[in-house]
Every structure is written in C-alpha cells, then in structure tokens.
Chains A and B, each alone.
Chain A
Amino acid sequence: MSTATLSPAAAKADTPIPLRAHLRHTGALIRRNLLWIRQDPESMFDAILFPVVFTLLFVYVFGGSIGKSLGGGQEQYVQYVVPGLLAMMGMNMAQGVGTGFNQDFNSGVMDRFRSLPIGRGSVLFAKIAVELMRMLFATAVLLVVALLVGYDVGSWSGLLGSVALSALFGSALMWVFLTLGVVMKNAQSVQAMGFLVLMPLQFGSSIFAPTQSMPGWLQAFTDYNPLSALADCARGLMEGGPVAHALWVTVIWSVGLTVVMAPVAIHKFRTKS
C-alpha cells in the first residue's frame, strides 16, 4: 500500500469543493441513510402509523360533529380534514429528523465524516433528502387511507401542488429540527422541544377545524400560522377556492426558515466540538 507524498504545500487558500463532488458526497450519504431503513425497517412505522391513526381518529371521532357544523356530516369533514392532514405530513416527518440526527451525532461516526474533505452541508442535505422520501411515502399512505374512508380528490394536479408545498415547508422545518438536533444534548430534549414548538402550531391552525369559531386572538395567530396557510392552500388547490394569501404565507415561511436556519444548522454542525 503506498501513501501520499508529503508535498510542501504553498500557503494558498483552501480549495473549494466542486458542485459535482457535492452531489456525489450527498448521494453517498443518501445511500447510507437508505441502508439504515433497510437494516431497520421498523423506522418506517411512524410513516405508516401517523397517517392511518390521524385519519381514522379525526374522521370517526370528531368527523360527525365537526361535519355537522360545516353544514353536512362525516363525508363533509373528510373533504375538509384530508387536505389538512396532507399539510401536517411535512411537519410530522420534520420533527423526527432532529431526534434521529441527534442520536447519529452522538455516535462517533460524525467525527469521521467531519474529518473528511466533504462539503459542510452534504451530511445534512442527505438527511433531508431521505426524510423527504419518507414524507412522500407517508403522504402516499395517507392518500390510500383517505380514499378508503371516502375522500374525493377534486383536482389531481392540485393534489400534486399541495404535496410539493408540503415538502417545501417540511424541508424548511427540517433545518430548524436539524439545528436542534445538533445543538441539544440528547434525543429526549430534542423531542420535548419539538413537541413544545409543534403542538400550538398544529392545533392552533385550520388543519382540523375551521377557525371562524375560534376567539379573535387565536384567529390572529392562525392567520399567520404556516400550517393553516399550508392546509388552506391544499384545500384551495384540491377543492377550489382562494389560494393567493395562503400560498404567499406558506412560501414566505418556507423560504424564510430555510434562508435563516440552513446556514445556522450547517455552521453548528461544522463547529460542534
């Protein structure tokens, strides 16, 4: 086995990593995260259980009474809640990314990755790519369950648009949770923190029920809650109706979170000691 020669390097600045190399590194790390799933198929349970449990719970437990207030019955509520659940998928999958990444970080393998000549973001981009795949899988499960409980897809292109928006917002949230995953000491605290952030966003929104009956202060919150916007967008795109305001709120939140949190996550990842 030969070893590299120790050429005296000129004191030149560090060389940048070409884009192709970035893609290659990210690809190799995506393969790693996919192998994890193959090695441990149980890690996909949440992606199956979430959509099934939430759909059945809301449709059969709350569906009748909320549907009545919508001027119909359970069928009416199915049409209302499925786009909402679709919006929620991105968020739910994003939450898991922090805990998983934290555990990964606390195993020694991250030090090895960080001592390799790869781009700062590759490890994080790969994680997000695989989580997005999981999200799409969960969305597919949701759609199957929704069709089984009688959901009527108004517009298939609207459905595609909704999934795309959900993925956009989900990936933006993933940067937030990746940052938490890097910064916080253990997986439990990441999970607790995620719960604290997401519970109000999730229930203080138009995902499960219309906001008209909520008190004024809560409506003010839900109006700018990205999850409300995302759910309203999905409804508008699939069922018809106004989408412009909701679309803007969703896009601004997604882009804003990504622009602010991605550099923070990458920086924290690189400098964690």
Chain B
Amino acid sequence: MTRIDDNPAGGRSAVTVRGLVKHYGETKALDGVDLDVREGTVMGVLGPNGAGKTTLVRILSTLITPDSGQATVAGYDVVRQPRQLRRVIGLTGQYASVDEKLPGWENLYLIGRLLDLSRKEARARADELLERFSLTEAARRPAGTYSGGMRRRLDLAASMIGRPAVLYLDEPTTGLDPRTRNEVWDEVKAMVGDGVTVLLTTQYMEEAEQLASELTVVDRGRVIAKGGIEELKARVGGRTLRVRPVDPLQLRPLAGMLDELGITGLASTTVDTETGALLVPILSDEQLTAVVGAVTARGITLSSITTELPSLDEVFLSLTGHRASAPQDAAPARQEVAV
C-alpha cells in the first residue's frame, strides 16, 4: 500500500481517495473516484440522486468495502484499519441517525459509552452537547417526538461526541424546510469554525456554496468536475440576475441594451415573459454592478432585482454539455472540465 499524503492543492490531506470503485450488480455506484479533502476544510460533493454520493460516504465510514481502489481517512486505510478509522470520524445524514425510542440525552450518553468515555465523561458530554445544540429542554423526550430540525441537531450532536477529526454530512438538510435548513447550516458553520474537516454531500448548489470551500461534482459514479466554489461557478456561468422592470414593455429594449453593452456573462440575456423578468447571466459582482448602473442610466424603474445560483440541473448540464435546448451556451467550460 502506498500512502498519499501530498495533496495537489497543498495542505495536509484528511481524506484521500484514489480510483474508488463499487459495483452493485450491473450498476456502477462508484466508477473510479478520486478525491482529496484538506485538513480543516469543507469539501462539498455535489450530485443528483444516484450519483454515488452516499456510496462514497458509506465506504469512507467503513460500512461497506470498495471493490477496488483505496481510501484513507486521517491516515487510516478504510479496509485495513477500520476500527482506528471509526475512532476519528463522525457520521450524520439521511441514513445514520438516532434511536427514535430513546430520549435525546440517552442517545448521546449511549454513543459516549460506545466511544469508551467513562460514565461521568459520557454524562458531561451529553449535557454539554445538548446545551450547545439548544436541546436541553427536550433532553428527556424520545427523539421520535422531535421536529425535523431538532432531529438533525441531535444527529449533529451525536456525531460530535467523539470529537471527530473528520465529519461526514450526508445530505444534512434534505427534506427540511428553508428555516430549519438555515438553522442546520449555522450549526455546521460553527462546527467548521472549531477546525473539524467536513465532507458534505448535497444535491443543492446553494448548500454547497453556503458551507463548502471546495467542490467535487459527481455523476453516475464519476467525478465530472472539481475545484473551488468560485472557480466552478465561473465555469458554469456563475449566477443569474433576475431583473423585473415595472413596465413589461421595457423588457426587450433592456435586453437589447445589455447585450449591446456586452456586460453579461458567458451567455446572452433571456426574456422570461411569463414572470416579466429578464434573466442576465453574470460572472462577477462587477458585472452585477454594471448591469444596475446601465439600468439606472436609462431611467428604467425596476420592481425587483435578485440573483440566483445555478440549480444543480444547470450546473450539470453546463458541465456535461448535455443541455438540449440551450438559452445559454455552456460550451466554453467543457474542455477544461474533463477530469
């Protein structure tokens, strides 16, 4: 076995994955995945359902073994040193969860004991984490009676008991309402502030942007792009500016003007007649400011102006170049993206 500690991106590697393959019968859940997560950073793994995200997390948590390839977490090999590896990881997500019949406190105490804390330490740790995740009042109630947000917070608390060096968050906010999702994001950000290394899987570009510093995009078991968030956003055409003039008749002149000035991003503007808005792809804050400036200079009154991140679909389609009807031409990114 050769260990790979040097990360091409610099910094020490907390998670190193090389050529990981996992088949389920005919289905290739993972088809040669490479991944490096540097210590103290948050790596987002973005992909649709069935892309292999959960399979990756399950291999890195030693729940399943890969067919080939290798992976180390904090220097421990997932196949050869599973027990030592389990001691340094925390797992939270759609599958690993808490015991619904047990009260919140008992859930945390149990995991503390299973992680070899003494009774006293386990009790103290359970109290401390309930406090930290604002669950003290619900400590004695069965976890099954918790709301969705409380459940996820208890999940997070449970995964933090062993003070893990590497934390896996497997779609931590799937199925949560926006307010609860923000709550969970805040908790995750606080945990990251403590220096834990995080591997986050998600289906949402927005979540990746909120939490991750680097991104790996996966599709059908393969990595189709990787890099910094900003870099990837630029590759997929950045954000979309949604501009709504008060007078819908001004939509087309406005579009023509912006295209003429050449201050849009990779693609040209699109008129969305249904909502009476103009969609302007932009790459930078400077372009955003320029658009606003141009609109103001023309004396056009706006009812709203918002920026939108590209959806997972859009990210995907631009990265793979499979978009069927293309209002935006995503071709420029295609060559550099091949990994």
Residues of A whose CB lies within 8 Å of any CB of B are 1-9, 11-15, 17, 21, 24-25, 27-29, 31-32, 35-36, 39-40, 107-109, 111-118, 122, 271, 273
Q: Is the CB of B196 within 8 A of A115?
A: no
Is the Cβ of B165 less than 8 Å from the Cβ of A39?
no
User: How would you classify the secondary structure of chain B's contact residues: helix, strand, loop or mixed?
Assistant: loop
- B residues contacting A by CB (< 8 A) are 1, 3, 5, 12, 14, 39, 58, 61-65, 74-77, 80-84, 86-89, 91, 94-102, 106, 110-111, 113-116, 132, 142, 158, 160, 162-166, 191, 194-197
Nearest chain B CB to A34 CB, angstrom units: 11
**Is B160 a contact partner of A1 (Cβ separation < 8 A)?**
yes
Pick from B75, B81, B95, B164: contact of A3, CB under 8 Å: B164
Q: Looking at chain A's contact residues, is the secondary structure mostly helix, strand, loop, or mixed? A: loop
Cβ A6 vs Cβ B75 within 8 A: yes
Choose from B74, B82, B101, B116 the contact partner of A21 (Cβ within 8 Å).
Answer: B116
Shortest beta-carbon distance from A243 to chain B in Å? 42
Q: Give the nearest-CB partner of A2 in chain B.
A: B163
Q: Could you tell me if A115 and B110 are in contact, using CB atoms closer than 8 angstroms? A: no
Q: A24-B116, A115-B86 are in contact. Are A35 and B106 (CB under 8 A)?
A: yes
* Contact present for B63 and A4 (CB under 8 Å): no
Q: How many whole Å from B317's CB to the nearest CB in chain A?
A: 32
Asked if A3 and B101 make an inter-chain contact with CB atoms under 8 angstroms apart, the answer reads no
Name the contact of B114 in the complex, choosing from A15, A108, A116, A271 (C-beta under 8 A): A116
In the assembled complex, the CB of A110 is this many whole angstroms from the nearest CB of chain B, namely 9
User: CB within 8 A of B196: which of A3, A8, A35, A107?
Assistant: A3
The answer to whether B194 touches A3, judged by C-beta atoms less than 8 angstroms apart, is yes
How far is the CB of B8 from the nearest CB of chain A, in Å?
A: 18
Q: How far is the CA of A174 from the CA of B300 in the complex (A)?
A: 77
Q: Which 6 A-B pairs have the closest CB atoms?
A: A108-B97, A28-B113, A9-B75, A117-B86, A111-B96, A112-B96
Is the pair B114, A113 in contact by a Cβ cutoff of 8 Å?
yes
